Structure 1
Amino acid sequence: MRTLVFDIGNTAVKYGCFEDDVLRESAGGHTLEAVPETVARLRPDHVLVASVAEPTAEWAARLRPLVPGRVLEFKPATTPLPLRNTYATPDTLGADRLAAAVGAAWLRPAADTLIVDAGTALKCDWVEGGHTFRGGSIAPGLRMRFEALHQLTGRLPLVALPADTAAPLPLTGDDTQSAIRSGVLNGAVAEVNGFIAQYRQHSPQLGVVLAGGDARFFQPRLKGHIFVIPELVLLGLHRILVHNVEN
């Protein structure tokens, strides 16, 4: 089975094409206008569209005449899942968070997993026993923190993430830019390590899966063994689509 999934995020649209459960191709920066060419080239059997930003109806309408099988609009509150969801307000749950949980549960069946999704927002989500999504936390991502300091103050400059994400981070900044960089970056690392430590008190065998655009920054700075799976959300969307096609 060949599937194609679209992840419409806050800052970009990504797609992933899977052959059975293997990701064959993925790319960001996609547009609605490019859909016909992408479908014609990849020739998927089934397609899923998920979004945390714009509605999916227009994307689905564009896709249906082009796809021989199912075109599924993923709605966290109503779409059947291969995972139990105990989130109290599923209609407010982001499609990316739930898809990441499905991907982690498929990769680590019967295991407790903490997902650290470092994207536009920094999310830490708990999957219990490989079968139940319990929820988690949402905080500003790295770029959002830099932008907030600049936009919500009178004089603080806009500071960017270092080009070399693996470079050492001084704890004490000796000018305003390095002080902001220390506060944002060292603070975010300490925050995530704190979450990991608290979850490990609850589950000593906890596995941590790291995903998202800033995963490379966090990877060398998080404590303990970490599984890095940048395309975790795409994998989860694929597994949701397979579940709905097969059931």
Structure 2
Amino acid sequence: MNLVIDKGNSSAKIALFEERAMVRKEVYPTLSGEVIGRFLAGQHVEFSIISTVAGLAPETEDYLNGSGHFIRFHTGLKTKVVNRYATPETLGPDRLAAVIGAQALFPGRNVLVIDAGTAITYDLARADRRYDGGSISPGLSMRFRALQTFTGKLPLINADPGYDTGYGYDTRTAILSGVQDGIVYEAMGFIGAYRALYPDLQVVLCGGDVNFFETRMKSSIFAPIVKTEPSLVLIGLNEVIYQYND
């Protein structure tokens, strides 16, 4: 069994893989050796790997060092991806792991990964396994908070999955239109631009706000090429185990 952990800004996803098949996944608000131990419940682990954007406590790293052959994923690690990002030390490991996951799921295809989390990232996993970079944009919640924080009178409101008017008829719905419709138009713009360059383009959605994007993309002209894979980063990290030991 492989133990795979994706520690993000607001939660930690822990999964067990039997070779390349995920057999279990849980999400926790915090990560510690105790949490991992409860998750494993005595399960034998051959390899363990973690990607973290928020640091790792020494006791947690010590626990993982005792859980099979341990890999702390970073963007300088040997994989089959040719990483041409100019500043790899500033590249989020979850972004690269998602690219590796996309290449594993769609070998030989050009895949645009849209990771809708605290920030929204757009990254192209090229068919030739080259990674040049992508784009980073404010996420859904961040946009709502920014309007309230950096203006004098606009209120803080929450996302509304039921909003579909297309325009605002008061301040609340005007904010919903600007944020929610704006994000969708942004994503469709990126998809259209990449598809013009790569006609065989496949799009994969992941991240904490994946349901928001999935609902809206299903009714767009790009619906036939959009797939949802909430565990894309975990799949990519598990793939790293095999590439690292190849």
Per the normalisation by structure 2, the TM-score is 0.92
Contiguous gaps of at least 5 residues in structure 2:
none
Q: Determine whether 1:85 maps to 2:80.
A: no
Residues 219/239 of structure 1: CA separation in 2 closer, same or farther (3 Å cut): same
**Counterpart for residue 76 of structure 1:** 75
Q: Determine whether 1:178 maps to 2:176.
A: no
Distance apart, 1:56 and its partner CA: 6.3
**Counterpart for residue 237 of structure 1:** 237
Distance apart, 1:214 and its partner CA: 1.3
Distance apart, 1:217 and its partner CA: 1.1
- Corresponding residue to 1:114 among 112, 115, 120: 112
Q: Determine whether 1:202 maps to 2:217.
A: no
Distance apart, 1:57 and its partner CA: 5.0
Structure 2 letter corresponding to 1:176: T
Structure 1 letter corresponding to 2:40: V
How many Å separate the matches in 1 of 2:50 and 2:56?
10
Distance apart, 1:130 and its partner CA: 5.1
Checking the alignment, whether the CA contact within 8 Å between 1:57 and 1:73 is kept in structure 2 is: no
Checking the alignment, whether the CA contact within 8 Å between 2:31 and 2:60 is kept in structure 1 is: no
**Counterpart for residue 51 of structure 2:** 50
RMSD between superposed Cα atoms in Å: 1.6
How many Å separate the matches in 2 of 1:169 and 1:180?
13
- Corresponding residue to 2:148 among 147, 150, 169: 150
How many Å separate the matches in 1 of 2:128 and 2:7?
26
**Counterpart for residue 134 of structure 1:** 132
Residues 26/130 of structure 1: CA separation in 2 closer, same or farther (3 Å cut): farther
How many Å separate the matches in 1 of 2:215 and 2:51?
30
How many Å separate the matches in 1 of 2:118 and 2:46?
31
**Counterpart for residue 40 of structure 1:** 41
Residues 57/130 of structure 1: CA separation in 2 closer, same or farther (3 Å cut): farther
SS at 2:15's partner residue?
strand
Residues 61/151 of structure 1: CA separation in 2 closer, same or farther (3 Å cut): same
Q: Determine whether 1:219 maps to 2:214.
A: yes
**Counterpart for residue 98 of structure 2:** 100
Structure 2 letter corresponding to 1:140: P
Aligned sequence identity (%): 38
Residues 41/177 of structure 1: CA separation in 2 closer, same or farther (3 Å cut): farther
Moved more, 28-37 or 18-27: 28-37
How many Å separate the matches in 1 of 2:94 and 2:208?
13
How many Å separate the matches in 2 of 1:124 and 1:50?
19
Residues 82/230 of structure 1: CA separation in 2 closer, same or farther (3 Å cut): same
SS at 2:190's partner residue?
helix
Per the normalisation by structure 1, the TM-score is 0.91
Structure 2 letter corresponding to 1:13: A
1:51-81 CA distance string (max 9 Å, x none):
111246542212223x2x311111112x111
**Counterpart for residue 64 of structure 2:** 63
Moved more, 167-176 or 101-110: 167-176
Structure 2 letter corresponding to 1:112: N
